[in-house]
Amino acid sequence: MSNEITTFIEQVEQPWQQELCHTLRQLVHDVIPDVTERIQYKKPHFLKDKKYAAVISVAKAAVSFTIFNTAEIELTAKEFTGPPERKTIKFQKVEQVDSEFLKQILSQTVETL
């Protein structure tokens, strides 16, 4: 895991947002053991084979998780927004995260990266 990403998460002001960032980061590592991490555009980005897999964005009252390469999978959850090639889900508290659901989606999207 990248020290740069760890530092980013530790500097997030709200404890619940820090916890959520840790949860999402671990989720990515669970699905993509050889993931590459880097800060780009001031956000943690996660890549597989040099292609974007996911990104975490922290705002004042929310944490967003974007999953890339989603055009070929069916996402019926209304919580997801964005164009066909990438979908974003916004969380306003840690309890909202369905890790297994997100792992399932991420697993499908990285199969073709």
Instruction: State the residue range of the domain holding 22.
Output: 3-110
Q: What is the CATH number of the domain that holds 34?
A: 3.90.1150.200
Please state at what angle helix 15-31 crosses helix 99-110, rounded to 10 degrees.
40
Composition of the chain by helix, strand, coil, percent to 5: 35, 30, 35
Q: How many domains, the chain?
A: 1
Per-residue pLDDT of the chain (113 residues; tens, 9 = 90+): 899 999 999 999 999 999 999 999 999 999 999 999 999 999 999 999 999 999 999 999 999 999 999 998 887 767 889 999 999 999 998 777 889 999 999 999 999 88
